[in-house]
Structures are given as structure tokens and as C-alpha cells.
């Protein structure tokens, strides 16, 4: 038996840390690290929810007899969704880091405070990086 409050609190702490990382950091790569932590908070909640019987919290309140029945739930949705989220995160960080590299090649910096305008509005805009 494990108490579900633990995973919930861990997810909240990770989400808070992720938001702090996204907002406080100046280096673009470190901002992406914050985004990863935020995605992992969602994963912890999904995995914790997959330990619930079919029907979720409502299913838990029913009698223990039905729990053994719901054991057969074929979709195990939480864990499959977690794997999907991990895949989406991998795709996201691939494209994100490619954009950061392009930014570095164009501006010679990845500091987000230096990149206040994009495209033609910037005085040092060039057609090709």
C-alpha cells in the first residue's frame, strides 16, 4: 500500500521548480531544462494515477470485491500516456535545441534578455544567419 499524497506532492514541487526555472533563467538551454521538469511533474501524476483501479478515485470508493475485477483493465492508460509524454518531450527538446542553436548562430548569444526582438524589427537582422 502506498499513499497517493506522496506522488501528488512530488508532482507539485516539480511543477513549481519547473515554472521557476522557465521564468528565472536567462540561458535558453536552461529554460528548456525547466520545461523538462514541468513535463516530468505531469508524468509523475500520470504514473500515480495508473495505480488506481479502473474508474479512478470513484472506483476506489466502491467495494474491494470490484477492485479485483477492475484489475483486468486492459488500457492501463496512465503508463501508456506517460510513455507518450516522454516521446513528445523528446521531440520537443530536439526541435527546441535546434532553434537555440540557430539563435546562437544568428546572434552569437543564447541569453534571452539579449533577444528582445525577432526578425526584421531587429537592427542586426540579416537574411541568413
Site for another protein in 23-82 (CB under 8 A): 23-30, 32-34, 36-37, 40, 43-45, 47-48, 50-53, 57, 60, 67, 71, 74-77, 79-80, 82
- The residue with cell 530536439 is 94
Nearer to another protein, 13 or 117 (CB): 13
> What are the residues whose beta carbons fall under 8 Å from the beta carbon of 46, sequence distance 6 or more?
78, 79, 81, 82, 85
Min dist CB 92 to another protein, Å, is 8
Nearer to another protein, 95 or 121 (CB): 95
Within positions 93 to 122, which residues make up the interface with another protein, using CB under 8 A? 93-95, 97-102, 104-105, 110-111, 113
Min dist CB 21 to another protein, Å, is 3
DSSP state of 123: T
> With binding defined as CB under 8 A, does residue 13 bind another protein?
yes
Min dist CB 116 to another protein, Å, is 13
As a whole number of angstroms, the distance between CA 36 and CA 86 comes to 10
As a whole number of angstroms, the distance between CA 63 and CA 106 comes to 63
> What are the residues whose beta carbons fall under 8 Å from the beta carbon of 28, sequence distance 6 or more?
100, 103, 110, 111, 112
Amino acid at each position: 500500500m502506498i499513499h497517493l499524497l506522496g506522488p501528488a506532492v512530488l508532482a507539485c514541487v516539480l511543477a513549481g521548480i519547473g515554472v521557476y526555472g522557465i521564468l528565472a533563467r536567462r540561458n535558453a538551454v536552461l529554460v528548456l531544462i525547466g520545461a523538462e521538469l514541468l513535463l516530468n511533474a505531469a508524468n509523475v501524476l500520470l504514473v500515480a494515477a495508473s495505480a488506481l483501479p479502473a474508474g479512478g478515485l470513484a472506483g476506489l470508493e466502491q467495494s474491494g470485491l470490484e477492485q479485483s475485477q477492475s484489475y483486468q483493465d486492459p488500457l492501463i492508460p496512465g503508463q501508456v500516456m506517460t510513455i507518450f509524454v516522454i516521446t513528445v518531450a523528446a521531440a520537443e527538446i530536439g526541435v527546441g535545441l535546434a532553434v537555440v542553436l540557430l539563435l546562437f548562430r544568428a546572434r552569437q548569444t543564447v541569453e534571452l534578455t539579449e533577444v528582445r526582438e525577432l526578425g526584421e524589427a531587429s537592427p542586426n537582422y540579416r537574411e541568413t544567419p
